[in-house]
Amino acid sequence: MTRELLGLMGIDNERLELQWVSSAEGARFAEIVTNFTNKVKKLGKSSVGAAA
């Protein structure tokens, strides 16, 4: 549902990732955030707000 809303707003749904991470999984959290950050960097700038 969230991905559908992003699409309606013109935001690429690849810019959203939901993961469950326990508070005891610090290393896994860091890995997920690093991987997602790299993914978004590869996507480049979002076109949303470009005309504002």
CA 9/CA 6 separation, integer angstroms: 5
HSE value, Cβ hemisphere, 13 Å, CA-based, for 45: 5
Phi-psi region of 10 (alpha: psi -120 to 50; beta: other; left: phi over 0): left
Return the pLDDT at 35: 97
Return the pLDDT at 51: 59
Tell me the three state secondary structure of residue 2: helix
Return the pLDDT at 24: 97
Residue 52 reports pLDDT greater than 70: no
Residue 34 reports pLDDT greater than 90: yes
The mean pLDDT of 22-51, rounded to a whole number, is 91
Mean pLDDT of the chain: 88
